[in-house]
Chains A and B, each alone.
Chain A
């Protein structure tokens, strides 16, 4: 299962793997053309644009000037701030989502026969469009009519209403809650599938040895599903780095850039400030960061490759 990238050799019969290069390229061509048109070409063109001073508002100054954008970056404290915000949102969202997803999956694992029905309900937040999640939690965390304040006040956790989205730290917390609600089902599904795959003999061995529930989890269960946990987390880190709609609808990066993440900042530089050159430049930096994570993901999928 883990060595397909290495070529997928099936020894012996030549009918099983075809070496017809022409037919293979005909089969792949349409997909390659579309992905090339939508992803690869724009990315390459971004790299090219990043070398230009290219502001739609000052087209008279437009020209090839690789140092212009480097200068802007050095003088730009917002990009660094956006990187910090992205790290905070991602760290909390993934950390909390991971733990909640694991708890949910362990609970589901105990309910074998009703599992299917419950799973159908638990997956719901994950399919709901990001923009709907954003608006819903903007309403839930509204300072005046939001139900979050009402519930917290009723339960005695807070004395006065909190204007959640008007303050930096509470706005960040509200965004993290919305993200966690939206993403936890993905962890649950992945972990539930992995838990199902643990051989019964392994669980029984732990029981016979009289392991406590906690030690069974940390010493038997977790090591068995470690790979899935690591890969799922990495995938979610990448997705959170690219997450746009929820923050865009809830706060738009505000108040005072306190929740401005890097993708939001790149969007704003391009479509609010019309500085296409600089937007491309920080976009390229962002892609480089993501590609580092992507390479890590591929190596984890493919342990053989990592060693060579």
Chain B
């Protein structure tokens, strides 16, 4: 497309388009951050301040010491971090084994398993809540990290497997073959040949598992009843539902903190996320 880039009119038009796109994308984010830096009175100024005249960290300070009932808000952060962290490890490990099986083996139920993996990405989470709640009560997993990790892993795993398999399929099978002829076992091939070449795929899968776990609202909302076991999304609803609904500054400060880890991951690892997404969604 080089030919068009040097036309002056086209170039100006393109610059305007880019500016509009950036404004549309970034304004809401800017509004969230700038509101979080306004004092409780400044939030209600009419007309609103487009730039906070007297920025303050007051809202963040309140969050640091804030509680829901007897549970400090920082506890929701800890819960989210623990549960998402463990989910990444478990989901990537299970997806690694499963995708190796699907990529390199031929077995009788392979087709139904592949179709099942695809279809289970589309199950509505809401429909699974009631049975899962009953199941968790019977197995004593309500209000446990274990229970949340299993739920998050099961939910994210189908897409993780699909994505990792599409990465694995691009690793030439001749390499497996050469290693086997030299006396490597099948699992040895996975460890010595496939794994070192799979780093970008593992990164993409890990990021995806993290986003899914960190952003999940419905599972922790219904599978934990004890406030001290809630993760950030249901914790935010508890903190800003009801009487605090119009504490916009506090709500936006909490929003910034909840969004910060995923945005940071995205900024540093977007290359992997993008390749994984396109690989997992349109290729098979």
Number of A-B contacts (CB under 8 A): 309
B180 near A: Cβ within 8 Å?
A: yes
Q: Quick check: B131 and A42 within 8 Å, CB to CB?
A: yes
A5 near B: Cβ within 8 Å?
A: yes
| With known contacts A35-B120, A189-B274, A127–B18 Cβ distance under 8 A | no
Docked CA distance A285–B47 (Å): 48
Which residues from chain A sit less than 8 Å from chain B, CB to CB?
1-2, 4-10, 13, 15-21, 23-25, 27-28, 30-32, 34-35, 37-43, 45-46, 49, 103-104, 107, 109-112, 116, 118-125, 127-132, 135-137, 139-140, 142, 145, 147, 150, 154, 181, 185-186, 189-190, 193-194, 203, 207, 227-228, 231-232, 235, 238, 241-242, 244-245, 248-249, 263, 266-267, 270-271, 276, 279-280, 283-284, 286-287, 290-291, 293-294, 297-298, 301-302
Q: Quick check: A16 and B18 within 8 Å, CB to CB?
A: no
In the complex, residue of chain A having the shortest beta-carbon distance to the beta carbon of B46: A145
Interface residues of B in 82-119 (CB under 8 A from A): 94-95, 97-98, 100-102, 104-108, 110-111, 113-116, 118-119
Q: Quick check: A132 and B278 within 8 Å, CB to CB?
A: no
Q: Quick check: B211 and A127 within 8 Å, CB to CB?
A: yes
Dominant SS among interface residues on chain B: helix
Docked CA distance A268–B22 (Å): 38
Docked CA distance A45–B277 (Å): 32
Docked CA distance A147–B107 (Å): 58
In the complex, residue of chain B having the shortest beta-carbon distance to the beta carbon of A186: B277
Besides A244-B217, A245-B215, A283-B130, 16 other A-B contacts (C-beta < 8 A): A2-B284, A6-B111, A24-B101, A38-B150, A38-B154, A39-B155, A119-B270, A120-B267, A124-B25, A124-B266, A129-B262, A130-B233, A242-B122, A283-B124, A284-B127, A298-B115
Q: Which of B46, B124, B217 has the most CB of A within 10 A?
A: B124
Q: Quick check: B277 and A128 within 8 Å, CB to CB?
A: no
